[in-house]
Amino acid sequence: MRVEVDLDRCEGNAICVGIDPDLFDLNDDEQAEVKLAPIPADRQAHAEQAIAECPRAALRRADD
């Protein structure tokens, strides 16, 4: 599993970072970026939670 960020939608609310700061971060433009790809199995629940809770629906699951 991978997570992709739609940078046109991301407002840098950092909900994803709050869910798992080892998985998500904000870049220099204050937009989300995924730090791990593919997502390790033990972090996939956090990734799914971040996708579901993103207020701008800027995250999406991308299966390899």
Q: Give the CATH number of the domain where residue 43 resides.
A: 3.30.70.20
Could you read off the pLDDT of 4-47 as tens digits, one per residue? Answer: 999 999 999 999 999 999 999 999 999 999 999 999 999 999 99
- In 3D space, the residue among 24, 19, 45, 42 whose CA is nearest the CA of residue 34 turns out to be 24
Give me the pLDDT at residue 64, please: 65
Band the pLDDT of 63: cuts 50, 70, 90. Answer: confident
Q: What is the DSSP string of the chain?
A: -EEEE-TTT-----HHHHH-TTTEEE-TTS-EEESSSSPPGGGHHHHHHHHHH-TT--EEEE--
The total of structural domains in the chain comes to: 1
pTM over cut 0.85: yes
Q: Domain containing 53: what range?
A: 2-62
Name 60's bridge partners: 4
Return the bridge partners of 4, or none: 60
Token couple for 34: 């995924």
